[in-house]
Amino acid sequence: MPVALYLMGVYPVYVARVTVGVVGLITLATWRSPPEFTPWLERAARVLLVLVPFAVAFHQVTRVVAGMMGVDFAIFTQASHAIARTGVPTTTLLFDEPVNFLSHHFAPVLYLPGLVTWLGVPAPYALIACYALSFGLALWALRRFCIGAGLPAATATLWTLVVALSPSIRPEILWGVHDEIFALPLAGWSLVLLQERRWWPSLALAASTVVAKESFFMFPFVWCVLAWTLQRSPDPLIPSGVEGRGRNGPLDSARGERIVIAGTVALVWLAAGGVYVLGHPWWSGREFDHLNRFALSALGTGTEDRVLFVAALLGPLLAFPLRSRSALLWCLPALPFIALCLLSSDPEMFRPTGYHATIPAYLLGFAGAVGLKSTGGKWLSSQMVVMTLLAAQLSWEVTALRLPLRLALAAQWYPAPELALLPKDQVVAADPAAVLSLLDHPGVKRLWRVPLSQQHPGVLVFKPDGWETPGADVAAGYAPCLPSGRWTVLCDAP
């Protein structure tokens, strides 16, 4: 049905609004007192939650075919393809010379899509499949935590959908691929296991989050603080059965020894993060690329934007993470990532709909679940609040899906096998979407870096009216050299 709607040119946003409106009206008409969900609504919510990662994958594949993916997706795809070919995540899109992507961001998790690519799946689709799977596992962890906090199953499912459609998460899952999403299932299940007092598996997952990004070197330390606080004052919102398992578990036997071990792991991870970031000149020969995002002289500017960033994190969740002391306690995992964004001098870091907000927005969803449970009778109905939030999020945020599949089929930019005919001894400056068809070319560069590069590119590949179409000054001296159904290919005129 969704494919048929795409082919007919019907925008999913309209379908979403009508569906949510009908469901809302039926729910209001059949609402019981005391309020509770009807079985059909609970089943419908579960189906929606299961469909979310498939919708994300479908949408991203559509954008790949339509040639709408940006440079970040091209970089991750090129690194995954390089892993499958050489075992090293090499990219040529960051600097004039090829570099190991791990020297730009610590993301060994790219070996997962690299493995899928090695098995024969094209790198763009392998990356999308792993990405959607990670997001699905992250949502599953959040729902599991909600149920462990005492929320009814339907409320837990709807709350998970609210978090998934948050304006701080939606741009990440719909408009490209970044390494944050790969860390979310590890962090999420770590919190689930901590809630269940399963100490060592939780610590192991907390430590493993670092495989996705260097900022997660901090996560085991925050986990240690949270675990220490929970053992001193057990969370009253954890069901008695789960808490009972914990009383006889490792958290409550030999507490001191385990806190020392966990603290040691946390400190080792912090030290490793410091070596990775500050030791860059020693082991990679250059400064860490992102240190320039933290300049103390710029912290006094953009105050309104920083306040808006925090408001955008909490607003769509109706500030449920702040509703109780227990909820505030579960805010701890998100705080370091919020601090990184707020202390940055780069406005992109604290842009409310930027991908840097993804990690704190997801982690605040766990605290929001605890806050939602603690509201009790203070609200007309926690379920009604969640339903209202879900309707608002869908009607506002799903507007990103205004991309009919028929447009992608009518203007298919990937794959473009004719680009494989370009000479391998030439530097090719290409639109990021064209890079996906040039993964085996050793000299491909991002088009917009051409004026800054010391190397004069031999070939330009771009869309006639794309975002990175070169200006007349760049294209001067080039002439058409390769017939292509869609891409404009210019070669350096002799």
Mean pLDDT of 100-118: 93
Cα distance from N-terminal residue to C-terminal residue, the chain: 54
Mean pLDDT of 412-422: 85
Residue 357 or 401, more confident:
357
Q: For 26-40, 84-98, 175-189, 459-473, which range has the lowest pLDDT when averaged over its residues?
A: 26-40
Cβ neighbourhood burial of 66 (10 Å; 0-12, 13-18, 19+)? buried
DSSP 221-282: HHHHHHHHHHHHS--TTS-HHHHHHHHTSTTTSSHHHHHHHHHHHHHHHHHHHHHHHHTHHH
Residue 279 pLDDT > 90: no
For residue 5, the model assigns a pLDDT of 39
Of 48-52, 196-200, 437-441, the range with the highest mean pLDDT is 437-441
Residue 19 or 430, more confident:
430
CA–CA separation, 77 and 60 (whole Å): 13
Reduced to 3 states, what is the DSSP secondary structure of residue 480?
Answer: strand
For residue 89, the model assigns a pLDDT of 95
Residue 34 pLDDT > 50: no
Q: For 59-63, 293-297, 466-470, which range has the lowest pLDDT when averaged over its residues?
A: 293-297
Which amino acid would we find at residue 292?
N
For residue 455, the model assigns a pLDDT of 61
Residue 303 pLDDT > 60: yes
CA–CA separation, 276 and 279 (whole Å): 5
pLDDT > 90 in the chain, percent? 23
Q: Which helix (H) or strand (E) holds 82?
A: helix 71-86
Residue 315 or 460, more confident:
460
pLDDT > 70 in the chain, percent? 73
Residue 434 or 266, more confident:
434
Rg, the chain, Cα only: 24
What global pTM score does this model have?
0.84
For residue 299, the model assigns a pLDDT of 62
Whole-Å CA distances, 419 to 63, 70, 233, 410, 490: 19, 18, 62, 19, 12
For residue 399, the model assigns a pLDDT of 44
Mean pLDDT of 281-307: 71
Residue 494 pLDDT > 70: no
CA–CA separation, 428 and 432 (whole Å): 12
Residue 4 pLDDT > 60: no
Residue 467 or 102, more confident:
102
Q: For 1-10, 131-140, 247-256, 345-354, which range has the lowest pLDDT when averaged over its residues?
A: 1-10
Residue 109 pLDDT > 70: yes
On the question of a cis peptide bond just before residue 34, with omega within 30 degrees of 0, the verdict is yes
Residue 261 or 333, more confident:
333
For residue 185, the model assigns a pLDDT of 96
Of 81-90, 156-165, 393-402, 433-442, the range with the highest mean pLDDT is 81-90
Residue 125 or 385, more confident:
125
Of 178-192, 300-314, 388-402, 412-426, the range with the highest mean pLDDT is 178-192
For residue 190, the model assigns a pLDDT of 96
Q: For 8-22, 25-39, 149-163, 253-267, which range has the lowest pLDDT when averaged over its residues?
A: 8-22
Residue 252 binned pLDDT confidence (cut-offs 50, 70, 90) = very low
Q: For 35-49, 141-155, 327-341, which range has the lowest pLDDT when averaged over its residues?
A: 35-49
> Residue for token digits 């494919």?
3
Of 6-15, 82-91, 157-166, 470-479, the range with the highest mean pLDDT is 82-91
Residue 105 pLDDT > 60: yes
Contacts 24+ apart (CB under 8 A), 9-13: 9/404, 9/406, 10/404, 11/401, 11/402, 11/404, 12/398, 12/401, 12/402, 13/395, 13/398, 13/399, 13/401, 13/402
Residue 365 pLDDT > 90: yes
Mean pLDDT of 82-98: 91
Pairing of strands 428-430, 459-462: parallel
Which amino acid would we find at residue 392?
A
